[in-house]
C-alpha cells in the first residue's frame, strides 16, 4: 500500500504544484494518498491484524496509523518548505525526498509501532 500511496502523492503533488502553491498541493496530495493508503490497510492489514480482537484494539491500530501518516505529512511539508522556501528551487525537487526518504521512515515507524 505504501508504494501506491507514495506514487499517488508524488503524482498529485507534481500536477497540482503547477497550478497552486506547493505547500497546498502537498496537503491535497497527502489527503488523496491517505485515502488510498487507509482504504488498502483497512481492507487488508487492519482486518488481518485485528482478527478476533476487541474493537478498541482495532482503534489503536488505526490511531497509530494516523499518527504515522501525519508524521509523513509533516516530513513532506518540511521537504517542500526547504526546496521552495530555503533553497528556492523548483517545487518538483521536493519529490525526491517525498519518494525516497519519507516512505522509508514511515515504513519503519509503521513496522515497529503500528503493525507490531
pLDDT value, residue 25: 98
- Grid cell at residue 106: 514511515
> pLDDT tier at 13 (50, 70, 90 boundaries)?
very high
* Predicted TM-score of the model (pTM): 0.86
Whether pLDDT at 82 is above 60 = yes
Q: Is 88 helix (H, G, I), strand (E, B) or coil?
A: coil
- Count how many residues are written for the chain: 116
Is residue 101 over pLDDT 60?
A: yes
HSE-CB at 111 with a 13 A cutoff on CA atoms is 8
pLDDT in tens, 40-75: 877 776 555 556 555 556 678 789 999 999 999 999
pLDDT score for 51: 61
C-alpha–C-alpha distance, residues 32 and 109, integer Å: 21
Helix 22-40, helix 2-19: angle, nearest 10: 160
Contacts of 74 (CB under 8 A, 6+ apart): none
At a CB cut-off of 8 Å and minimum separation 6, what does 95 contact? 10, 13, 14
| pLDDT confidence of residue 92 | 98
Amino acid at each position: 500500500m505504501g508504494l501506491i500511496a507514495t506514487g499517488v502523492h508524488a503524482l498529485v503533488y507534481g500536477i497540482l504544484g503547477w497550478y497552486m502553491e506547493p505547500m497546498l498541493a502537498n496537503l491535497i496530495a497527502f489527503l488523496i494518498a491517505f485515502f488510498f493508503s487507509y482504504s488498502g490497510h483497512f481492507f487488508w492489514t487492519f482486518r488481518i491484524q485485528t482478527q478476533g480482537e476487541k474493537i478498541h484494539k482495532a482503534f489503536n491500530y488505526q490511531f497509530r496509523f494516523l499518527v504515522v501518516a501525519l508524521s509523513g505529512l509533516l516530513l513532506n511539508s518540511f521537504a517542500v518548505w526547504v526546496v521552495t522556501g530555503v533553497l528556492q528551487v523548483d517545487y518538483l525537487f521536493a519529490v525526491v525526498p517525498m519518494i525516497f526518504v519519507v516512505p522509508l521512515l514511515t515504513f519503519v515507524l509503521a513496522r515497529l509501532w503500528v503493525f507490531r
